Chain A
Amino acid sequence: MKYSLLNLVRNSFSYHENWQEAWSSPELKKEYDIIIVGGGGHGLGTAYYLAKEFGLKNIAVLEKGWIGGGNTGRNTTIIRSNYLWDESAALYNHAVNLWEGLSSELNYNVMFSQRGLFHLAHTVHDMQEITRRGYSNHLNGIDAEILDKEQVLKKIPYINGDGRYPIMGALLQRRGGTARHDAVAWGYARAAENLGVDIIQNCEVKGINITNGTVTGLETTRGSVKAKKVGLVPAGHSSVLANMAGFHLPINSVPLQALVSEPIKPILDCVIMSNAVHVYVSQSDKGEIVVGAGSDAYNSYSQRGSFDMIEHIMGPLVELFPIFSRLKMLRQWGGIVDVTPDRSPIIGKTPIENLFINCGWGTGGFKATPGSAHTFAETVATGEPSKMAAPFSIDRHYSGALVDEAAAAAVAH
């Protein structure tokens, strides 16, 4: 059923009790042409674009938990594309272009809000970094404005511009902003199922069947399934799946946590990031102040962050926004992020034939969801890395052609 004003009115007569499920729960078939492992935004989006852009049928998405329960529902929903290097800029800006039309394309309100994103600069070095990145963005056709202190204080009058972390300026991307993270997974799931994709929840992959170096199927908690092609989009468990297929990845998995406050009246109408002190904060449409913390500096699959990391983030946050000091933080959670040496993702082929992988998004995968899904769908459909995905192959760790965004954008992606 299409979501529209007409259908909203029509369903109001039956007290909204007759809306059909957004997606159903089909049984796992014996065989698929393409199986996507991982039902987050990236995986569901991949299935959606495979069906829509490439006209492929007989596709399944396997999710070990439930739709929206993984990292798609655990991030701080920030979207931007002001990356330094050409390869990343192309990929993330492709995503922003798709974000702009996503709600109408999916017929699902993902609440994409281009409220503007400020990267604060606190030192001369920060100013040089944002200036360099701003100019690089201009060359790549990405909107970037370099602001001075007065311009920042005019926009955010209650920010502490002369405290322990004095504000010298900011890099503003007006096209950046936030989106409702759950809605992205739900919207893609619903749109993919409308195109015939089977979405199988509570189905964990336990083994990958390989014959003569070619993937032939999967062992799951719901039984065996054959597949001609498999795309792994596992977020925090890339190495676990790669180990099943018998290869290693240049990845370490670490917990990344976030927290939200009680809902308050609108106060922050943009996204604020500071790489130097590692603050990133925005206000959700519900009114909560959403704060992202740093990732723990040791491997863990525990899905909870360390307490000292919370202190590490709240100190600078309150220093920059003294007005937030009386906020009560209501919820805190962690997700496992797969970090690569250069902080850029891995998209492309694996040593196994017909087995593709899209992983290693580290701390910044949410913003890339549509672009990642779109370019990975092209890779899976054609069997060769798409033009956009090509620089992000596993092989770059052998050739040395790293896309080193770790140094370029510091820690906060």
Chain B
Amino acid sequence: MFVIKCPYCGERDQTEFSCHGESHIARPENPNEVNDKEWGEYLFFRSNPKGMHYERWTHDHGCRQWFNVKRHTVTDKIIQTYTMGEEKPEDDNV
């Protein structure tokens, strides 16, 4: 359980939010042209790092907006929240 700083509403309890998995996964531009392997990778395969994770959350019981969170998966510490469409912050995993 932790506190999340919604870019629109400010700091709120995590129970107001729900997580929707890894961010910055681009849908293939031409789905009809990709093969099964590429489509499977897009749908199901995730980096699942033990370290910095970029993920999408929604503020369900608040503004209902989607936004991104950069969080460490061992400490659950949130480094940054940023809005949809903003560029991915620097990757500290490497």
Contacts and interface: CB of A to CB of B under 8 A. Distances in A.
Contacts of A13: none
A301 interface: yes
B31 to A, nearest CB: 14
B93 to A, nearest CB: 10
B55 A298 contact: yes
A240 B55 CA distance: 18
B15 A308 contact: yes
Interface stretch (A20-28, A73-81, A249-257, A404-412): A249-257
A16 B14 CA distance: 52
A237 interface: yes
Contact of A297 (B18, B36, B71): B18
Interface in B30-57: 36-37, 39-41, 43-50, 53, 55
Contacts of B18: 297
A15 interface: no
Contacts of B1: 306-308
Interface residues of A, number: 24
B73 interface: yes
Given A308-B1, A397-B43, A239 B48 contact: yes
A302 B53 CA distance: 13
A306 B39 CA distance: 34
Nearest to A309: B1
Nearest to B47: A248
B21 interface: yes
Contact of B45 (A250, A298, A301, A306): A250
Interface in A215-251: 237, 239-240, 243, 248-251
A116 interface: no
Contact of A302 (B46, B55, B75): B75
Among B43, B48, B50, B74, find the residue whose CB has the most chain A CB atoms closer than 10 A.
B48
Contacts, number: 70
A299 interface: yes
B19 A251 contact: no
Nearest to A311: B15
A301 B21 contact: no
A398 B40 contact: yes
Q: Tell me the interface secondary structure of chain B in the complex.
A: mixed
Given A397-B40, A399-B36, A302 B47 contact: no
Contact of B48 (A299, A341, A398): A299
B55 A299 contact: yes
A252 B46 contact: yes
Interface in A377-411: 397-400
A341 B73 contact: no
B56 to A, nearest CB: 10
Contacts of B14: 306, 308
Contacts of A109: none
Given A307-B1, A398-B37, A297 B19 contact: yes
A299 B53 contact: yes
A160 to B, nearest CB: 26
A140 interface: no
A300 B18 CA distance: 14
Nearest to A247: B45
A251 B46 contact: yes
A237 to B, nearest CB: 7
B19 A301 contact: no
Nearest to A250: B44
B28 to A, nearest CB: 14
Interface in A278-310: 297-302, 306-308
Contacts of A249: 45-46, 48
B37 A252 contact: no
B46 A298 contact: no
Contacts of A301: 50, 73-74
Contacts of A397: 40, 43-45
Nearest to A298: B19
Contact of B44 (A240, A298, A300, A341): A341
B48 A251 contact: yes
Interface of B: 1, 14-15, 18-19, 21-22, 36-37, 39-41, 43-50, 53, 55, 71, 73-76
Given A239-B48, A250-B46, A299-B53, 12 more contacts: A250-B44, A251-B46, A252-B46, A297-B18, A299-B22, A299-B73, A300-B73, A301-B73, A398-B36, A399-B40, A400-B36, A400-B40
